[in-house]
Every structure is written in C-alpha cells, then in structure tokens.
Amino acid sequence: MCGIVGYYGPENPKDVILGGLKSLEYRGYDSAGVAILNHGEFKRVRAEGKLSTLQKKLEHEAFDGHLGIGHTRWATHGAPVEKNAHPHTVRGISLVHNGIIENYLELKEELGPQAQFTSDTDSELVAHLIAGEIESTHDLLASVLRVLPRLQGAYSILVVSKDHPDEMVAFKNGPPLIVGSAKGAVLVASDVQAILPYTKKVVYLNDLEIAHIKGESFEIYDSRGQALKKVVTTIDWTAEQAQKEGYEHFMLKEIFEQPRAVARALAPHVDVAKHTTNILENTGLAERFHGIDRIAIIACGTSFYAGQVGAYLIEKLAGITVTTDIASEFRYRDPVLSKNTLAVLISQSGETADTLAVLRQLKRLDVPVLSLCNVKNSTIDRESDGHLYMNAGPEVGVASTKAFTSTLAVLHLVAVGIARSRGRLSALDEERYIRALLAAPAQMETVLACDKFFSEAATTLKSYRGFLYMGRGVNYPIALEGALKLKELAYMHAEGYAAGEMKHGPLALIDARMAVVMLAPSDGLYEKTLSNLEEAKARGGVIISIGTFGNEKLRDLSAHYLALPRAEWSVNPLLEAIPLQLLAYHVAHALGHDVDQPRNLAKSVTVE
Ligand code: G6P
C-alpha cells in the first residue's frame, strides 16, 4: 500500500525522501511524488510508474528548503496516472495520504461546486478541507483538529502548509504512521524502514492521534488537542538487514535467509539442552491456555496458509479443535464462539486491515487474542492480549517467504506446548519433535541447493498452461501456498488442491500441458498420495514431485523429482516450502516479471 515519508532537517530533503521512498517500494505502488520547500513555496514533482521515473525528473531539480514530503501511491480512487499521484496541493496546502476516505462523496458535495478538483482522488478532498480551515485558523494543527472528526475511513495523512514552512502535521486512523527524531531532524514515515538510516528511536501514532512537528521537535496530541506523553520505542532491526546483500532480488535473499530465520524463530522458546519448549509461558497468556476447548486461527494470504498448517499440527498433537478462517470472511459472518475459545491471529506486517478488524471484533466479544507477527509494535501486535513473533527480520519482497516458514516453526512449537500442557505428549515425544525442529534449519540449507535445478528448469516450466499443486494432510496447505506463490509472481494459473479431492474435478484439467506438483514426502499418507500421482500421470499430466530422499519409485514416475532430507512428518512443510518458492521465483524471473513487486499487489494491505 502507499508509502509516506516526511523530513525536516539539515540534510537535502530530496535525497532523504527519495531514499525513504525507495525503502518503502516493497509496499507496492504505481506512481510517486514529492513536495519540497523551495523559495518559500512547495515545489511539487510527480511521476507515473516506478520511482526511477520520478528520480529522473528530480535529477536537475534543486531545493533550498529543509522540509518536504513524499509518497508512493497504490491506486484506490482514480487511475495510476500523474494527476492522481500525491502530494495533492490546494491553496498552499500539500498532503500525502494512505488509505480511503469513505465519506468522500458526501464531503465533496458539502464543499460545493466552487471547489476545483484537479484529480480523481479522495485524498485531494482532505487538502481542500484543510485549506478551507486554515484560512480562518491560520494554524496548521488547529485546522487538522477541525477536519479530523469529519473524516470517515481508514487513512494516514501527512500535511504541510507554505505559510508554516517549518511544520508538518501527521495523523491517522488505520494505516500506520511513525515519527522519529534524529540529530536536528524529524522524520515521519509509514514504516520503520524509511527512518532506520537516521534513527532507531521512534514513536508509533495510535488511531486518532496527531503528530505536530515544528522544527526539530515534535508533540503528539489526541483528537481533542490534548498533549500526550508517548512511549519511545527502540527498533532492533538494522538498516543493513533491509538491503539486498548481493542477491538479485529481495525475494531470493529472503528465501536463502530461511534457515537462519527459522533458527531465530525457535531460539527464544526452546531449551536446547533439555529439548523442551516454554512457548506458552512466553505468550504472556499461559493461564488462558488452560480450559480452552477451541482455537480459532484467523489470517489472510500466506499467513492464512501457515495457520492451516498450524491447525493440522495442533489438532493432531494436542487433540483440540482448531478452526481456520480467512479474516475478510470471518469479520462478516457473525461467528459463534464459545467462552473457552482462544483466537490466534497471524500477520507478518501486523497491519492487515481485515485481520485488524477481526482483532477488534474479538475484543468486543471478550475472546482472548494471541497474535503472531513479524513486525514488533505493529498495530495488531500492540492491541493483542498475548504476543508471539516470527523473528524473521525485515521482509521486503511482497510475496512472503521467510515470515511464512518462521510462522510454521513457531506454530509447531505452540502445538508441542499445548500438547504437553494437556498431557497428550510424553517428555520423550516432546524431545523427538523439538530435535526434529532444531535439525530443520540445517536441512533447509541442503534443500536450497534446488535453486540451480529451478533456475534451469524455469525455461520449460514457464510454457505450461497451468499448474496444479497437490498434497495431503499437513502438506495440503503447502500446496495452496505453492499455488499462491506462482499466481502472485508468475501471473500463471495455479491451483492448490487436497490430493484426495482431485477426482472430484481437477482431474478433468489434466493433459500434457498441465504441470502437477505433487507433495509426496514419506509420511503416513504417502501411499494414498502416490495413487493420486499415478492417476494424474495416467491422464498425461507432467509430474513434478517432491518426496523424501531415496524414493526411487517417485523418481521413476516423475518428469522432475526433488528429494527432501528425511524428517519428522510435522517438519516436512518447512522443507517443502523452499522448492515451491524457488519454482515460482525462477518461472517469474524467466518470464521477465518484477519479482519483488508483483503487479497489483502490496505487502501491507491496510485497506479492506
Ligand atoms: C499481502 C501480502 C502477502 C501476505 C498477505 C497477508 O497480500 O502480499 O504476502 O501474505 O498480505 O499479510 P499479513 O501481513 O497479514 O501476513
């Protein structure tokens, strides 16, 4: 979704803002722009498409001021063309906006026909409203305080005024905004990445809070204008962690980081000498796990599929009912939840609008919420009752990879923890599962060797008409995730299916132009999966199988065969995820697509 950067300080605002926008590129966008002080006016430069186009336009532009704002836009109202790019300027007011103003038409009508609009956006309307107020208040903060109660929707906004050349006002309801101060400088951004090169100390704005930046200092107010005392958070990510480190794409770097990420995800919760886990205690909700009769896992996208793997693990190991729901469905279906339900919300960004809405709905229903996020202090993390972290470090590629496998590792520990606390798992079995998990990072390293295979096979694979991904049990959600990855990155039709369901429809699709990716590790369901594979092969499907090392039969049946190291059934998903990510990455790359920023997609989906 849109990226916002604002800067006041001694450095060249053009460079700071462009650098900040660059670090927010991963959020997804289709146009960009800046407004920077020059000779007492805000000079605005905007461009359709990638940041490089804006950068070219700015090459010969000089600014003598020390304050400016910038934006990468992900189109919601109005096409992704220059006139709709931010900042929007109305009578000396310039602003950038992320989100949607829901009562935009109503407010536009109130402004009447004399208000001249130059874009098709809802954002410009807010600039009109603030410009209207400032004519009487002559005060930027006071004007925002008057406009704020009139806005409905999810938004974060940063506004400047040419008559207040050392001020910025930032406010939000929904999408995140943070303020950080460095030596003689203040930065505002929609994500820490943009601020990290300057400072690690940031303040997170809550909904309906307003940051007023004046020169090198800032104050935070509530919506009635009362000054607030806010906690300053220290970020533990480094700016370097968010760089490509020699990899061609962030996604490839993040795929290769997975062994380390999974090890980091496990580390805080495992006693490596005793092979036990204390993960339930670490949630801050340990006592709530007693007496629950149901766990409701709710998430979106890749996090949802990780949740589905978690459901298989928890149900099987701990013998407790687990339901999984897509957040955008759950929030509108009047869910019936018993008093003894514990909700687990999964979100790498911690900002996904639908998941956040579910969190607030659950709180109204008095259901305890444990969140599993990658971004610490994100809104979902802050508002939950209990907290777990993926610990994957910054993930920049839009398509989630290391956050996914880290989530699988944490959910596996949760399953072991609950199973132990309910007396469903012996100490010996706990040790067996923990040993298997601790061995996973090294096994993942060996699986990464299939990178070479997929980079070569991609030229053939890219010409298939479509892909069917199949698996059973705990491998089934991995099939769904594999198909999602190929759709997201390669823009090819791909479907994930429970292998046993193939005969109820998808079998009709199979011919020599359809690739069938079969997840067939040697686990309790292997024989069943094998017969599904033979059915697909008999209909002429091209079989790409992923099995366990030493399975010659599978090799003989398949056009392409990848062997995974022998692992506990519950750890196989961690290993299978890697070849599926690499398959999607290389096919997309071979097709010439932008792997880190797939078209139409965003990393942090802060609108409904
Ligand atoms: C977007 C991203 C996906 C992610 C999904 C859920 O669609 O592109 O990679 O899985 O949002 O995001 P969350 O931050 O809630 O895990």
The mean per-residue pLDDT over the stretch 345-351 comes to: 95
The mean per-residue pLDDT over the stretch 543-567 comes to: 92
The mean per-residue pLDDT over the stretch 186-198 comes to: 92
The mean per-residue pLDDT over the stretch 3-16 comes to: 96
The mean per-residue pLDDT over the stretch 233-240 comes to: 77
For atom 5 of ligand 1, which residue has the closest CA? Answer: 301
Task: Summarize pLDDT for 434-454 with one digit per residue, the tens.
Answer: 999 999 998 998 899 888 888
Distance from residue 349's CA to the centre of ligand 1 (Å): 7
Please report which confidence band the pLDDT of residue 247 belongs to, taking 50, 70 and 90 as the band edges: confident
Check the CA dihedral 126-131-133-139 and report its sign: positive
The mean per-residue pLDDT over the stretch 266-288 comes to: 94
For atom 13 of ligand 1, which residue has the closest CA? Answer: 347
The mean-pLDDT minimum among 3-12, 213-222, 453-462 falls in: 453-462
Phi-psi group of 456: left, alpha or beta (phi > 0 → left; psi -120 to 50 → alpha; rest → beta): alpha
Quick check: 475 pLDDT over 80?
yes
Distance from residue 373's CA to the centre of ligand 1 (Å): 11
Task: State pTM to two decimals.
Answer: 0.78
Nearest Cα residue to 156 out of 21, 358, 1, 32: 1
Please report which confidence band the pLDDT of residue 191 belongs to, taking 50, 70 and 90 as the band edges: confident
Query: What was the pLDDT predicted at 239?
Result: 67
Helices (H) and strands (E) in the chain, counts: 19, 27
The mean-pLDDT minimum among 259-268, 301-310, 442-451, 540-549 falls in: 442-451
Catalogue all structural domains in the chain, each as residue range(s) with its CATH number: 3-241 (3.60.20.10), 244-425 (3.40.50.10490), 448-601 (3.40.50.10490)
Distance from residue 304's CA to the centre of ligand 1 (Å): 9
The mean per-residue pLDDT over the stretch 599-606 comes to: 76
Is the C-beta atom of 301 inside 6 A of ligand 1? yes
Please report which confidence band the pLDDT of residue 248 belongs to, taking 50, 70 and 90 as the band edges: confident
For atom 16 of ligand 1, which residue has the closest CA? Answer: 347
Is the C-beta atom of 302 inside 6 A of ligand 1? yes
Closest approach atom of ligand 1 to CA 301:
10
Is the C-beta atom of 581 inside 6 A of ligand 1? no
578/591 Cα distance (integer angstroms): 20
Query: What was the pLDDT predicted at 175?
Result: 83
Distance, first Cα to last Cα, the chain: 11
Looking at the annotation, which residues are catalytic? 2, 603
Task: Summarize pLDDT for 379-393 with one digit per residue, the tens.
Answer: 999 999 999 999 999
Distance from residue 342's CA to the centre of ligand 1 (Å): 22
Is the C-beta atom of 522 inside 6 A of ligand 1? no
Residue of 300, 371, 487, 599 with the most ligand 1 atoms within 8 Å of its CB, for mutation: 300
Mean pLDDT (the chain) is 93
For atom 1 of ligand 1, which residue has the closest CA? Answer: 603
Quick check: 262 pLDDT over 90?
yes
Please report which confidence band the pLDDT of residue 79 belongs to, taking 50, 70 and 90 as the band edges: confident
Is the C-beta atom of 349 inside 6 A of ligand 1? yes
- How would DSSP label each residue in 261-311? HHHHHHGGGEETTTTEE-HHHHTT-GGGGTT--EEEEEE-HHHHHHHHHHH
Phi-psi group of 239: left, alpha or beta (phi > 0 → left; psi -120 to 50 → alpha; rest → beta): alpha
Query: What was the pLDDT predicted at 76?
Result: 75
The mean per-residue pLDDT over the stretch 113-131 comes to: 94
Quick check: 240 pLDDT over 70?
no
45/595 Cα distance (integer angstroms): 27
Is the C-beta atom of 36 inside 6 A of ligand 1? no
The mean per-residue pLDDT over the stretch 242-249 comes to: 76
Query: What was the pLDDT predicted at 205?
Result: 93
Bond from prior residue into 87 cis (ω within 30 degrees of 0) = yes
Distance from residue 175's CA to the centre of ligand 1 (Å): 14
Is the C-beta atom of 601 inside 6 A of ligand 1? yes
Please report which confidence band the pLDDT of residue 242 belongs to, taking 50, 70 and 90 as the band edges: low
Query: What was the pLDDT predicted at 339?
Result: 84
Share of the chain above pLDDT 90, in %: 77
Distance from residue 86's CA to the centre of ligand 1 (Å): 24
The mean per-residue pLDDT over the stretch 56-72 comes to: 95
Residue of 1, 302, 398, 484 with the most ligand 1 atoms within 8 Å of its CB, for mutation: 302
